[in-house]
Structure 1
Amino acid sequence: MSAKDDTPIEIVTAFGALPSDIAAILRSARQRIFEAAAGLADVGPLTETLKWGEPAYLTERPKTGTTIRLGQIGGRAAVMVPCSTTIIEDARAIFGDVPELSGKRGLILGGDTQMLDHIIHAALTYHSRKRR
């Protein structure tokens, strides 16, 4: 993120308040979220905002996806989804009960990008997949 891009100032500020190593990991996850959304014709544009003081990404198209939030779990960089979804449970069914999956809500980052990409895709398409 630079001053030249269109990142909302509150997002820049939120990333700036994080330890630099965690911020770098979360910026990379942010990029993957936007790339995934751009590659999914049914998703459309994303809204980037703060939820609970953390960067959050929502599909603008109704009944498409669910919120993806970037923050920390136990002092480690993490991607979080609403605990009311089955996204993390579904990831466990695919990847096993790995320690990177945290509760019903999160994925601790720093390792497997395949899991991250799966969770991003699942979140961006959560409601549209449920309708099928």
Structure 2
Amino acid sequence: MLDPRIQALLETAITSSCKLAIAVLFAERPALSLTAAEIAERVYRDRWSVEHALADLVRAGVLEERDGRYACAAHGETCQALRLLQECFADPLLRMELLQVLREIERYAPYQHDLPRHFWDSRAA
């Protein structure tokens, strides 16, 4: 079972596989400060998708952007959730569960704003 903090992070901020790849990159190396092009190269994604994901992660408070460079947000709760995410991603069985939850979230992402909160609570059960 996924930690509720990871579940909340997936439901609110990390809603795509691209965002997950970026989050894991920064969770593994919290001191990184990279441009969008550098991140795209490291996560093997196209720059447009990465830029879109980065904008969402900045809005969600997971990353910070300064002078075109992105870094892990310094918020204690966010850093702790990212550490948990990285630990979960490192465990093969938990990674499978995490990816299954992410697939479910991606499937409903276009409708996420229209669904009531109790729907997302029922998905976690």
- TM > 0.5: no
Give the TM-score taking structure 1 as reference length.
0.29
Give the TM-score taking structure 2 as reference length.
0.31
**Between Structure 1 and Structure 2, which shows a larger proportion of strand residues?**
1
**Between Structure 1 and Structure 2, which shows a larger proportion of helix residues?**
2
